[in-house]
Amino acid sequence: MLRLIAALLIGVTLSVAPAYAATKVTVNGVPISDIEISQRTKLLSLEGGGGSSKAAMDQLINEQLQLQEAKKFNITITEQQVDDAFQQVSRNVKVSTDKLREILLSRGVSVDTMRARLRAALAWQQLSGIVVQSRVKVSDLELDKEASAALNTDTSYDYILKEILFISTTGNAAARTGQANAYRKAFTGCDSAVQLSLNYTDAAVREMGRRHATQLPDALAKELAGLNVGGITKPRVTEQGVSMLAVCAKNAARDTTFIKNKLRSQQGSEAMKAESEKYLQELKAKAKIVYS
pLDDT one-digit tens code per residue, 79-110:
999 999 999 999 998 999 999 999 999 999 99
pLDDT one-digit tens code per residue, 211-248:
988 889 989 999 999 999 999 999 999 888 999 999 99
43 vs 48, more confident? 43
Q: Distance between CA atoms of 102 and 84, rounded to whole angstroms?
A: 18
262 vs 155, more confident? 155
Domains and CATH numbers, the chain: 23-135+271-291 (1.10.4030.10), 152-252 (3.10.50.40)
Q: What is the pTM of this model?
A: 0.58
| 28 pLDDT higher than 80 | yes
Rounded to an integer, the average pLDDT of 123-140 is 77
Q: How far is CA 270 from CA 108, 129, 137, 186, 232, in A?
A: 35, 14, 11, 48, 38
pLDDT recorded at residue 9:
29
- Strand, coil or helix: 120: helix
| 136 pLDDT higher than 70 | no
Contacts of 81 (CB under 8 A, 6+ apart): 122
pLDDT recorded at residue 140:
67
pLDDT band, very low/low/confident/very high, at 19 (cuts 50, 70, 90): very low
Q: Distance between CA atoms of 56 and 61, rounded to whole angstroms?
A: 9
pLDDT band, very low/low/confident/very high, at 11 (cuts 50, 70, 90): very low
pLDDT recorded at residue 123:
94
Contacts of 174 (CB under 8 A, 6+ apart): none
Q: Distance between CA atoms of 145 and 140, rounded to whole angstroms?
A: 9
Contacts of 72 (CB under 8 A, 6+ apart): none
| Phi, psi (degrees; rounded to nearest 5) at 144 | -60, -45
Q: Distance between CA atoms of 60 and 57, rounded to whole angstroms?
A: 5
